[in-house]
Amino acid sequence: MIPGLPADIDTIKGFLAEDEAQALYHYAGESLPLGPVLEVGSYCGKSTIYLGLAAKDQGSTVFALDHHRGSEEHQPGEIFHDPDLYDDSTDGVDTFREFRRNIRKAGLDDTVVPVVAGSALAARHWQTPLGMVFIDGGHSLAAALEDYRCWAMHVVRGGILTIHDVYPDAHEGGQAPWAVYQMARDSGLFEEVARVRSLGILRRL
C-alpha cells in the first residue's frame, strides 16, 4: 500500500496499469537520492501522482513535462480521443485543468512542478541532473525519438530511465516506444533492469 495514494486513483483518466504504477513508485523512490524525477507526458496526472508520492516521501521534486494538447492518438477522430478533455474555446484538446485538479487533490502542489511545453523547448537550456526519467509522451516514432534524445542523457549514472508502452509484438501496441527502448538498451549507456507489463526499466551505466 502506498502512503497517501488517493482513494479514487482508479477514476483518474490514464493508461497506466496498477503493477506499472507500483513499479514507477518503487524505482522513483530508489533513484530520488540521485536527483529529481522528470516525467515526459503527464496527461491527467495519474502516473505523476505515483511519482509525486515517492518524491514527497523524500522531500524531492517531480518535473511533469507535457504541452497538454494531447498526443496524436488523443485528437478528435483518433482511438483514444476523450470528448471530456476537448476545449471548445480553443478548439483543441486541453488536459492541463484536469491535471492540476488531480495533483491538487493528491496534495502534491508542493512536490510536482508542471512544465507546460514540448520536449525540445523544455530541454533547450536544461541543466538539472535527473535521478529518473519516465517517457510516456507521443507514440509516433518522431515524438518518441525526440523525447529520448532530449532527456535520456540527463539521467545520472546509476539513475533510471523508464519507457511506457513497450510492446515487442506489434499486435499488442505501437512500435515506436519499443524501438526507442531497444535503442537505449543497445546503446551501451543503459542496462535493462526489468519489464513490468509494458513498462521498460533501464539503469544508466
H-only helix segments in the chain: 18-31, 46-57, 96-105, 119-123, 141-151, 176-185
Q: 190: alpha, beta or left, given left = phi > 0 and alpha = psi -120 to 50?
A: beta
d(CA 77, CA 2) in angstroms, rounded, equals 37
CB 35 within 8 A of CB 159: yes
Q: How far is CA 188 from CA 82, 96, 152, 182, 204, in A?
A: 39, 37, 13, 11, 9
Q: How far is CA 151 from CA 11, 74, 163, in A?
A: 30, 23, 12
d(CA 96, CA 67) in angstroms, rounded, equals 8
Give the H or E element holding residue 114.
strand 112-115
H-only helix segments in 63-167: 96-105, 119-123, 141-151
Q: What residues are labeled active site?
A: 139
